[in-house]
Amino acid sequence: MDHLKMELRHWVLSDAKELTNLCNAVDRHYLSDRLPNPYTEKDAAEWLKMVSENEAVSGIYRAIVYDGKLIGSISVEKKHDDAEIGYMLLNEYANKGIATEAVKQVCTIAFKVLSLEQITANVFQPNIASIRVLLKNGFKYKGAITNAVIKDGNVYNLLIYRLTKDCNENLARFKKIK
């Protein structure tokens, strides 16, 4: 993957139409139901307003752009003493290293800007691609909540992965040495 073609950029209020198109085009199979379906421009405008008020205060929110095209979204949001990462990517850009690079970049930003000690990821058990992205970025498996999610009539375990600040810093140092 050409990392120069992928960038994380700040969301802006004028992204509402592109965000709406993205949210209606992504595969929702393993996404939380808190993402409205269908996703409207009103939903996008409300979310972008929340992002503008909370950026660098209680979260890091970025558009994933590849070769100039908006192809995904990634965020790390503070939840009490922890933070939770979430991301989505259009299917045609999967398995190209884009999500792995986006997670690496957003975690580095989040640890620094939000002064976090750890970031948690909750993944539906069959979502192998997302699990691989997390493992490549140093996230460690912490446990599962059995039968925690019902999605499209399917019952899934919710797997919990965690990245600590120390692990993130050590992983970054190791990658520089290689």
- pTM reported for the whole predicted model: 0.92
User: Of the candidates 114, 129, 131, 119, which has an alpha carbon nearest to the alpha carbon of residue 165?
Assistant: 119
Residue-level pLDDT at 167 = 76
Supply φ then ψ for residue 156, to 5 degrees: -125, 150
- List, run by run, the mean pLDDT of 10-residue segments along the chain (178 residues): 80 97 95 93 98 97 96 95 94 95 97 94 96 97 96 95 84 57
Query: Measured between alpha carbons, how far apart are the two ends of the chain, in Å?
Result: 18
